[in-house]
Structures are given as C-alpha cells and as structure tokens.
Amino acid sequence: MAVTSQELEVLSTKAIAAKATAYCPYSKFQVGACILTTSGEFITGANVENAAYPVGTCAERVAFGTAVVAGHKDFKALAVATNISPPASPCGMCRQFIREFTGPDFPVFMYDGEGNHKMMTMDELLPDSFGPDQLK
C-alpha cells in the first residue's frame, strides 16, 4: 500500500531528526534513517562509527536491525537523511541488507540537508537482486 503524505511527513521528520543521534567522530558525516512498518510504527537509526573504521555501521542497518529484533518483519517505507545535496543513497551493503526484508516496489526516500528528497524503489536501487527466495 502506498505511503500517505501524512506518513511521509512523520517519516521524513524522524529520519532528519535521527541525524543528531549519529556517532560519527571520524567522518563527521551524519546519517539518519527511519522505517515505517506496515503496522504503523516508526523506527529510527543513525550511523555508528568505530575507531577500527570498517567496523562502523550505517544508519540503515542500525534501523533495520532495531526493527527486526523488535519483532517487525513487514515494512512500508524507508527514509534516509544526510546533509549533502543531491541526497545520498544507501550504500551497496545496506541495499542488500534492506533487500532481505523488502520487495521490489519498496520505496526509499532520500533527503538532503534542505529537506528536499528523491525516491527510488528497491528494484531500482538493487536490480536483479539476490534474496531469501533463492535459498528456498
């Protein structure tokens, strides 16, 4: 089901606010994320870096990991917010991570520092993807 303008308003506000929760002393590149579950809950995340650089985690994976361990498996939309323009899109590792829990039409809304956004579906972000169905 399509995301309503009311839901998108909350989703974007929470993703943008989540940037402030980032732990990014090395890159200083804040990323906030918010997921809307099909049950109507909003779950946020932000990037968490590490002194051993590759160990750091992106905002999207923090948000999806948080949602999944809270018992959510069905998701309606994701918003990702950074301070750059044009807005950043999820990295390759995050695209695969998100793919695990979403279908091809799942919308990813990407926000820049001014609150402008673009939207791409998961199929656009990760075409011909490998997913759980391949292991059945």
Report in angstroms how near the CB of residue 135 gets to ligand THU at its nearest: 25
Measured from the CB of residue 63, what is the shortest distance to ligand THU in angstroms?
10
Q: Is 24 labelled a binding residue?
A: no
Binding site annotation covers 26?
no
Return the number of the residue (21 or 37) whose C-beta is nearest ligand THU: 21
Structure-block tokens of residue 85: 């323009």
Cβ proximity to ligand THU: between 2 and 119 the closer is 119
Q: Is 7 annotated as a binding residue?
A: no
Smallest gap from Cβ 61 to ligand THU, in A, equals 8
Q: Nearer to ligand THU by C-beta: 36 or 60?
A: 60
Residue 75, classified by CB atoms within 10 Å of its CB into exposed (0-12), middle (13-18) or buried (19+), is buried
In sequence order, the 6+-apart residues with CB closer than 8 A to the CB of 53 are 26
Q: Is 60 a catalytic site residue?
A: yes
- Residues within the interface to ligand THU (CB under 6 A): 24, 27, 29, 31, 47, 49, 56, 58-60, 88, 90-91, 94
Q: For the residues of 31-51, what is the DSSP string, one character each?
A: -EEEEEETTS-EEEEE-B--S
Give me the catalytic one of 7, 41, 60, 124.
60
Report the b/e string of 120-132 with b at 16+ CB within 10 A.
eebeebbeebebe
Any known ligand binding at 50? yes
Token pair of 81 as six digits = 């917010």
* Distance between CA atoms of residues 114 and 110, nearest Å: 11
Which residues are part of the catalytic machinery? 60
Positions at the binding site for Zn(2+): 58, 91, 94
